[in-house]
Structure 1
Amino acid sequence: MSFDQEWTEKKLADFSSMKYGKMPDKSKVSESGYPIFTGYKVSGYYPDFMYEEPQLIVVARGVGGTGDVKLSPPYSYITNLSIIVELDEKIVDKYFLYYSLSNKNLRVLDSGSAQSQITINDLKNYKVNIPTLEEQKEIALLLKSLDDKIELNNAINKNLEEMAQALFKRWFVDFEFPNEHGEPYKSSGGEFEECELGLIPKGWKVGRATDIFDVQSGGTPKTSTSEYWNGEIPFFTPKDCSNFFYVINTEKTITEDGLNNCNSKLYKTDTVFITARGTVGKVALAGRDMAMNQSCYALVAKNGYTQKYVFHQTQQLINVLRKNASGAVFDAITVSTFQNLKTILPDTELIRKFDGLVNELYSLMLEKINEIQNLQHIRDTLLPKLMSGEIRVPVEKGNSVPDLPMVAESSAIYQP
C-alpha cells in the first residue's frame, strides 16, 4: 500500500480535445430511438447515434444548464448545446475527470455575453489538479460504486412503481380485479351496468372526486421572518416534484414557529400532493411528514378509501382533465375542479384488498429512496475531500475499492 507523488496542476487542453456537438435533423426527431442529449437533459430521440462510446464527458454550453457536467447516455446524439471532452486516457481517467469537474463551478467560465455561454477556448484553459493515473482510478472507483448503487436503487423503484401502476390499471381501469372465485372479473363474464361514464361493474357507483378525498390547502410563512425558515420540517412546493412517487427532500424547510404561523398543517407520510398552479397537475406522495405551500393541494382519503388508491386515481383524474381541456391551457386547479369532477366509486372492500397487495411495494420504495439519500450524502461528503487531496486513497495493486465506503473524517486517509 502506498501513496504516489503529489498532485499536479494541468490545463484541460494538456490531455483532452474538445468539440461541439451538432443539431439533429428536426424532421427525424421522434419519441423513440437514441437519446438526443443537450448537455444537461434528454430532449427527444433520434434514429442515429453520434458516438458508439458508452459515455462521454459533456459540458453544457448554456441555455438552462451553463457549466453542468454530465456523462452522456450510451449511444446518444449530442447537440451543439454541448462541449464534448475527449480524453487521452493514458493521462486522465474519464470518471475521475467527470467527478473532478462535477465538484467545480464551471459557470465561472461564462463569457458574460447577453446569452449565458461557455466556449471551448474557455474550457481548454481551465486548470485541474490530478494525481497519478492509478490513484485517479481508485478515487473514481470509490465514487462510482456509490453512484452505481444509487442507479440500481432508482431502477428498482421504477420497477416497483410500474408494478403498482399495472395492478391499479388492471383492477380499476380494465376491471380485471379478482371475482369471488379469484378469476378476472371482466374476462370471466362479470356483470356491468351502464352509467354516464360508460360501463362499470355492477354495484359500483358514480360520484365526485371529493367523495374519495378531502381537498386541503397549504400556506407559506412570512419569508421576511428568519425564525420561520431553515428548520427541520420539509416544506413541499411544486419544485419538489420528482420522477418518482415519493418525495422525502424539499428545497426549503421551516421551523415549528413557521408551521404555527402559516396556513399549512403538518401533513402525514403518504399524503397525496397535487400541484395546482405554475406547473399544474403533478402528483406526489409525502415520504415523511411535511408542510406544503399554497400552490398545491393535499388530498386526504375518506369514506373507506386509502392514500395509495387516492394517489393512483388522482393520476387518472388528471389525465381526464388534460383530455377535456382539448387544447386549452391547463393552467390551474381549484377545489371546485374536484367538486365537479365525476369519477367511478368502486367497492371499498376491493380498495382494501388492493392496498394489502401494494403496501409492501410502497414500503420498499420508501426504503430505497431513504437509502439513496444516505448514499448521496456519503458521496457528496467524500467528493470535495477526495478531489482536493484532503482524503487520499492508497494505491494497492490487485485490490478494489469496497462498494459502500463510510464517510472519512477530515484530513483522514481512506483505508480500503
Structure 2
Amino acid sequence: MTNWKEYKVEEFAEVIGGGTPSTKNSDYFGGSIPWLTPRDLTNYEKRYITNGERNITNEGLRNSSAKLIPKHSILLTSRAPIGYLAIASNEVTTNQGFKSLVVNPDIANYKFVFYLVKANIERIKSFGTGTTFAEISASVVKNLKFNLPDLPTQTAIAEILSSLDDKIELNNKINQQLENLAQTLFKQWFIDFEFPNENGEPYKSSGGEMIDSELGEIPKGWEVKKLGALVKKSNTGADAIKRAPIVNEDTGIRCVRVGDMTNKRPFDEWGFCKITPQDYKRYKLEINDIVVTRTATLGINTIIRNEIKGVYNNGLIRLKIDENKIIPLLAYCFLQSDAYKIWIERISGDSSTRPNMQINYLLDFPMYQCPMTIQTKFINQASLIFENLENNILENKELIQLRDTLLPKLISGELEVSELLAQNA
C-alpha cells in the first residue's frame, strides 16, 4: 500500500447541512431549485440524483438554512436513516437530514469519495446517537478519518468501480425499457385488440368482428372471466412464525415475504427458513406459480420462472394457473395491467388501517380469456422480452457481486490498482 495518507473528512471536503423552509408559506415551494429529503433516496438505486419530490423557490432558500450544494457533491443522509448515499448531478439543496460533502478536487476525486463513504457506511452508522432516532452530527462527519491514495490512484479506482456501476445501471435502464415494451405489446393485443388477424393485419382496425361484454366490446370468440375461473388452486402461505420462521443458518430452503416483493429482491436474497418436510411439500413454489402480496402493500406479484427451493409465507397468496385455460405468463401480464392496479387500489383505499386482501377479492378480478392460438402467438413474442429481462438481472447479479468484492479491497489499498489491471491485461 503506497502513496496513501490519512485525512480527516474536513481536510478533503466541506461538510454542509441543510434545512427546511416553512411549510406554512406556499411561496417557499414550487420553484426551480431541487430540494431533497432522505425519503427521496429510499430504495433509490442509482448513483446520481437530479431532484427530489419537491422544489423550493429562491425566497424559500433565502428564508431557511437550506444551502445550495454544488454538482458532484456527495449527499449523505445523517438521520432517519443514516447512510443513504448519492451524487448530485447538478446544484441541489437538502433538508436537515443530510450532511453533504463538497469534495476538494485538488485532494480527492468525488467518485472515489462516493465509494469510500459507501464502503464505510456501517462504520459511519456506528457514530449515530439519539433516543428517538440515530443521527450523526456535522462535527462527527468532519472528524472521520480515512486513508486516501494520490489523485491518479483515486481516479483509477473510481473508474474501475464506476465501469461496473455504469453497466449495472445500463442494464436497469434496458430492463425498464423492456418492461415498457411488454406493457405496450400487452396493450396492443388485449386492450386495443390490435393483435394480428389471420392475414397479419391489426384485428380491430381491420374490421374484426366485436361483441358486447360486461367490460365493453371484445373480439368475437373471447370471453370475460374472473381470475378465479382461470385458477386451479389458490391459498395463502405458511404461518411466518409457526411454520416458516426466518433463521440465520442456511437451511437450503428460502421463503419469500412481503418485503422481498416490495423491494424486488431476487431469490438468493430471500431469507432462509425452517420448515417441516410436510409443510415444504405443501408450500413449495413451482414454475409458473404466481405469488401476490395480500398485506401491507397489496397486489404486488411475480411469476416463478425457474426451479427453486423456496416457499411463501402467509403475507402472500399463491395462484396455480389452469394452463388449459390461460398460459400462466399471460395471466401474469394481466396482473401487471392498469386495470389490475385500479382493482387493487379499491381495497387499499377502502381501509384507513393496514389493508389486508382476502383471496376472493383477488379472484374476482375480471380479465379476458381468448383462443389458445392467440395466447400462444402473444407468448412467443413476450417470452423474448422476459428472457432478455432475466438475462440482464442475472448479469447484474454477477456485476454487483464483483463490485462488492472489489470495493473494500480497492478502497482500503489491500488490492493495488496496478495488480488488478495486470490481472486483466
1:358 match? 382
1:321 match? 343
1:342 match? 366
CA deviations 1:315-363 (Å, max 9, x no partner) are 3353232354494228122221134333332223211111000111111
CA deviations 1:204-244 (Å, max 9, x no partner) are 11221112234243214758989895233332111112576
2:270 match? 251
1:406 match? none
Report the CA distance between 1:48 and its aligned residue.
7.5
Identity %: 26
Moved more, 91-100 or 182-191: 182-191
Q: 2:399 aligns with which of 350, 375, 384?
A: 375
Whole-Å separation in 1 of the counterparts to 2:166 and 2:250:
31
Moved more, 145-154 or 333-342: 333-342
Report the CA distance between 1:82 and its aligned residue.
1.7
1:343/1:223 CA distance change after superposition, 3 Å: closer
Write the letter of the residue equivalent to 1:44. Answer: E
1:198 match? 216
8 Å contact kept, 1:259–1:291: no
Moved more, 85-94 or 342-351: 342-351
The DSSP-based 3-state class of the residue aligned with 1:17 is strand
1:163 match? 181
Whole-Å separation in 2 of the counterparts to 1:326 and 1:348:
34
1:176/1:261 CA distance change after superposition, 3 Å: same
8 Å contact kept, 1:208–1:338: no
2:196 match? 178
1:383/1:140 CA distance change after superposition, 3 Å: same
Whole-Å separation in 2 of the counterparts to 1:390 and 1:223:
44
1:366/1:36 CA distance change after superposition, 3 Å: farther
Structure whose residues are more often helix by fraction: 2
| 1:58 corresponds to 2:57 | no
Whole-Å separation in 2 of the counterparts to 1:200 and 1:340:
19
Count of matched residue positions in the alignment of Structure 1 and Structure 2: 394
2:48 match? none
8 Å contact kept, 1:217–1:264: no
Whole-Å separation in 2 of the counterparts to 1:73 and 1:337:
44
| 1:234 corresponds to 2:254 | yes
2:106 match? 90
8 Å contact kept, 1:109–1:123: no
CA deviations 1:71-124 (Å, max 9, x no partner) are 235565533322221011111111111111111121112122433222211211
The gaps in structure 1 that reach 5 residues or longer are: 396-400, 403-412
8 Å contact kept, 2:78–2:135: yes
1:266/1:325 CA distance change after superposition, 3 Å: closer
After TM superposition, the structure 1 = structure 2 runs for residues 11-410 of structure 1, keeping only pairs within 5 Å, are 11-23=8-20, 36-39=35-38, 40-41=41-42, 43-46=52-55, 55-63=72-80, 65-74=81-90, 76-104=92-120, 105=122, 106-213=124-231, 214-219=233-238, 220=240, 222=242, 229-241=249-261, 247-254=266-273, 260-262=278-280, 264-286=282-304, 288=306, 289=308, 290-302=310-322, 303-316=324-337, 318-325=340-347, 327-329=349-351, 331-394=355-418
In angstroms, what is the RMSD of aligned CA positions? 3.3
Write the letter of the residue equivalent to 1:299. Answer: L
Report the CA distance between 1:179 and its aligned residue.
1.8
The DSSP-based 3-state class of the residue aligned with 1:117 is coil
